[in-house]
Structure 1
Amino acid sequence: MFSSVAVVVAAFVALGCAQSNSSYPSPPTVLGPEDVTGGSIEGFQQPHLFQDNGTYGPQVEIMHYYYDQWPIGLAAFPTGDSKALYACYTRGPYKYTLGKITNLTAEEPWPNQEINTPPGGLLDENLSSLTGYSMATNSTDHFISVQALYTDPNGRLWVLDTGRPTVTSDNGASTMAYAVVGGPKLVLMNRENGTIERTYTFPGDVHFPDSSINDVRFDLRHNITASGQGVAYIVDSSNEGRNAFIVLDLGTGKSWRRLDQHPSMLHTYNNRASYAGIPTYITIKGQSEYSNKEGFDGLALSPDGEYAYYSPLVSQYLYRVPTSVLLADNGPNGTDGHDAELKASFAVQNLGQKGSQTNGFDSSSDGRIYLLAPEQNAIFAFNPNTSKIEPFVRDPRLYWIDSVVVADDGYLYGNCNQLPRQMQWNNGTEKRVKPGIMFRVKLPEGASRITTGLGGA
């Protein structure tokens, strides 16, 4: 048996050798150390090796450089041949929390410094002394700590104020002051003159002291609420408390929570992220888990308003839920709230893994859902036609894209603020290097901001 196999193998080898000069390439010459001179191999052309240059997708255009304050959210409005660009900044030691871009390298408080300066300061010193905790002011007509800006489908400017400024101790540890009813708010601004047109606040059983309202999207269809003025869907992304949708009826001012503490809302325990190839640990005062605990963060609506796409920041999974189950409130007497919550929880759909942690979403008129992927310095896109996550843009300069908006001009605008390089994420050493940036990239196939379906009738 052995000798027969040997004969067959010998014949096969002979056949291969006989054909080596025709259809089969000759084997490479094995070179030894004596053939290597000065780091190159004599007579051997060095190949062009594959390398990841960190980029793909459309051209990234820098629209603004932040040299003063690190940005969070933004809004972009077309105004003829130029842009009206706005930015917001998480309030700590910063002079203002809502600003307008004035040129390539400068911003100014908007609409003025006064509205950015709550009388009596950012904290309620009497309440703080009484409770032993840092308690924020409850000023309803001044901005405390603006987290997000958004343009609704009718082109109006909305400002989302967390009501929770950052408090930094003498040793550099930072925490957020607890919110007091009246401080957290959604504000409709007149973009032409900077006046406040309407302010919405939240009761204590909808927004808790350790809630953190992070982002907002709008559905202004007249037929989805009895008031006929549409709704705002607001993200509670708290890494201290409970995560949920906060749904706000823009006509009545009534608000309620939905999917409160649902598994799709919560962060993955002890999930280790890496940014620019560096595994990251975070020191959070009073918490033993050295990783980000932020839950529900990214939110975007389908163009017809029928679905809300969302995800926790610290999660690999993308979810969606029919907005019809979010719109069901607690009834006139609160008697059917439990049923509404159950129906919402059973309607959640898991769309699979995204390929990254994601810290913000927006959607475009073609139905794509854009997902910020901070671990890859990239933006991915969920294509509802294929149910796949697709690459959109990647660039090493896009270090922690904190917020994006799709604008009328067919561009996606975003802010980058190098968040993983801040002190809390680097053992107390500040590693961020200014400037931060605002950028834009062109959307594919003529897509733009959603203005139909969600914009009214």
Structure 2
Amino acid sequence: MKLVRTLLIVAVFVAVAVLAAMRILLGGGDRLPDLTSTPIYDGSVLETVVELDYPPGNIAVSESGRVFFTLHPDGKPPVKVVELVDGKPVPYPNAEYQGEQGAGEGIPYFQSILSLRIDRQNRLWVLDFADFGRGQPRINAFDLGTDELLMSYEFPPDVAGLGSMLNDFQVSPDGTKVYIAETSPLIHRPAIVVLDVKTRTSRRVLDGHYTVKPRPYIIQAPGRDMVVYGLVELRIGVDSIALDRDGDWLYYGPVTGDRLYRIPRRVLDDESLAPHLVDAAIESFAAKTLSDGITTDLEGNVYLSDMEHSAVLSLSPDGELTTLVKDERLRWPDGFSFGPNGWLYVTCSSLQHVLFVSGETMRANAPYHIYRFKPGPVGVPGH
């Protein structure tokens, strides 16, 4: 009995020491000043696309107007990927893909899906981070002409191992390369993952580089500072990622970071370049808000989500920051996709009401929304 009591005391002491160390190493931080200004548009420009019982994740809208989106995995939804049909979310491509239970033999079923994109070859790409690498991370591509699976690629452990999170991504205009933000929220060694579609190989670039790592900022979402169980501030590495519409530059930055960077795509594609040459090609493009999803238009503007101030902003080609719309309904604007006719779609995942809270709290803050508005310039549908 005495031995058991001693072991319990030691266990409690170790747990307290670990928590204290986490607080010292990962706790605290700065608050980024509000970079928003008087918005160009008022909230009346926001058109509701759909109301949902579960928070949405990312969105992809096809050239023909088909709307696909994920339900955020942290909301523990019953289905992972849906298409909006007659105003209602319907499992895509069918119910069989929505989880291991019910999946047929050989079906690369969905595990943890956050991001999806439509390329210019009319393929819907669905990225699976597989519960932070505890499952098998992979990416599936579907032909939107037939809704059939075209390709399924499984990432090897040295690219997306335990603790990884394949988050947001972009597909090159010719459809031959996929660029993925590996956020690494658990072990904080983020990177850009480059997938070669033709050779079916992948590799990590900018692995642990300072431009992809989170900075010590505290996310001040409306109504809540994002502090995990009162101990550790939520810090998220590279997630914001977008190609310019010609596919020449990749823009990227950490969620908890105050700078947006860019790098020539040809540099990322050149496997022969030494790390110092890759590093030399990086440009610090502009100051940014704490941002989740980003996208670009045909005029070279970059669009930013600002989860702290319920806003959507744009960065001009010369780096000037403009607030487009700011409205309390934009609860954690998360994912973007341009659609046809100049519409820009934005999901609101409301993560301050989802992360590290009870299911009851999450349900009490429903419904969750997807909106759209016309920012002026147009973009390429699907990204």
Q: What is the Cα deviation at residue 302 of structure 1?
A: 1.6
- 1:264 is paired with a residue whose SS is coil
- Please point out which of 270, 289, 294 is paired with 1:361: 294
**Is residue 140–residue 185 contact of structure 1 (8 Å, CA) maintained in 2?**
no
Alignment partners' CA distance in 2, 1:434 and 1:85: 21
Shift in CA distance, 150/432, structure 1 to aligned 2, threshold 3 Å: farther
The match for 1:179 is 134
Identity %: 24
- 1:265 is paired with a residue whose SS is coil
The match for 1:344 is 278
- 2:308 is paired with a residue whose SS is helix
Q: What is the Cα deviation at residue 413 of structure 1?
A: 0.5
**Is residue 146–residue 160 contact of structure 1 (8 Å, CA) maintained in 2?**
yes
Q: How does 1:272-311 map to 2 (within 5 A)?
A: 272-276=218-222, 278-283=224-229, 290-311=232-253
Q: What is the Cα deviation at residue 308 of structure 1?
A: 0.8
- Please point out which of 339, 356, 373 is paired with 1:424: 356
The match for 2:372 is 440
Q: Which letter maps to 1:233?
A: Y
Q: How does 1:303-322 map to 2 (within 5 A)?
A: 303-322=245-264
**Is residue 339–residue 345 contact of structure 2 (8 Å, CA) maintained in 1?**
yes
234-243 vs 84-93, which deviates more? Answer: 84-93
The match for 1:255 is 202
Matched, 1:243 2:190: yes
The match for 1:57 is 41
Q: CA RMSD in A?
A: 2.8
Mind listing any 5+ residue stretches in structure 2 that lack a counterpart? 1-35
Shift in CA distance, 307/53, structure 1 to aligned 2, threshold 3 Å: closer
Alignment partners' CA distance in 2, 1:373 and 1:265: 18
Alignment partners' CA distance in 2, 1:212 and 1:387: 29
- 2:161 is paired with a residue whose SS is coil
Deviations, residues 270-311 of structure 1 (Å, cap 9, x unaligned):
x21212264342239xxx5x2112100101112222211111
Deviations, residues 214-272 of structure 1 (Å, cap 9, x unaligned):
11111144xxxxxxx62111110121132111001111111111101100111113x21
- 1:199 is paired with a residue whose SS is strand
Q: What is the Cα deviation at residue 213 of structure 1?
A: 0.6
Deviations, residues 301-359 of structure 1 (Å, cap 9, x unaligned):
12222211111001111111111221122xxxxxx5xx5322112222112421x2001
Alignment partners' CA distance in 2, 1:313 and 1:423: 15
Alignment partners' CA distance in 2, 1:409 and 1:368: 17
Alignment partners' CA distance in 2, 1:191 and 1:392: 32
- 2:144 is paired with a residue whose SS is coil
Shift in CA distance, 140/202, structure 1 to aligned 2, threshold 3 Å: farther
Alignment partners' CA distance in 2, 1:377 and 1:91: 21
- 2:164 is paired with a residue whose SS is coil
The match for 1:70 is 55
The match for 1:159 is 126
Q: What is the Cα deviation at residue 186 of structure 1?
A: 1.4
The match for 1:383 is 316
- 1:409 is paired with a residue whose SS is helix
**Is residue 73–residue 403 contact of structure 1 (8 Å, CA) maintained in 2?**
yes
**Is residue 282–residue 425 contact of structure 1 (8 Å, CA) maintained in 2?**
no
Q: Which letter maps to 2:353?
A: R
Alignment partners' CA distance in 2, 1:303 and 1:272: 32
Matched, 1:411 2:378: no
The match for 1:37 is none
TM-score, normalising length from structure 2?
0.82
Deviations, residues 37-82 of structure 1 (Å, cap 9, x unaligned):
xxxxxxxxxxxxxxx9996526111111112x22101121254xxx
The match for 1:167 is none
- Please point out which of 98, 116, 123 is paired with 1:116: 98
Shift in CA distance, 370/53, structure 1 to aligned 2, threshold 3 Å: closer
Q: How does 1:87-166 map to 2 (within 5 A)?
A: 87-91=69-73, 93-104=76-87, 106-119=88-101, 141-164=108-131
The match for 2:164 is 211
Q: What is the Cα deviation at residue 423 of structure 1?
A: 5.3
Alignment partners' CA distance in 2, 1:409 and 1:363: 15
The match for 2:332 is 400
**Is residue 235–residue 246 contact of structure 1 (8 Å, CA) maintained in 2?**
yes
- 1:375 is paired with a residue whose SS is coil
Shift in CA distance, 144/277, structure 1 to aligned 2, threshold 3 Å: closer
**Is residue 100–residue 108 contact of structure 1 (8 Å, CA) maintained in 2?**
yes
**Is residue 39–residue 324 contact of structure 2 (8 Å, CA) maintained in 1?**
no
**How many equivalent residue pairs?**
343
Q: How does 1:258-269 map to 2 (within 5 A)?
A: 258-269=205-216
Structure number with greater Rg is: 1
- Please point out which of 361, 380, 383 is paired with 1:449: 380
Shift in CA distance, 393/251, structure 1 to aligned 2, threshold 3 Å: same
Choose between structure 1 and 2 for higher RCO, CA contacts under 8 A separated by at least 6 residues: 2
**Is residue 186–residue 201 contact of structure 1 (8 Å, CA) maintained in 2?**
yes
**Is residue 192–residue 206 contact of structure 2 (8 Å, CA) maintained in 1?**
yes
Alignment partners' CA distance in 1, 2:260 and 2:119: 24
Alignment partners' CA distance in 2, 1:140 and 1:204: 21
394-403 vs 95-104, which deviates more? Answer: 95-104
Q: What is the Cα deviation at residue 381 of structure 1?
A: 0.8
Q: Which letter maps to 2:138?
A: K
Matched, 1:325 2:267: yes
Q: What is the Cα deviation at residue 140 of structure 1?
A: 6.3
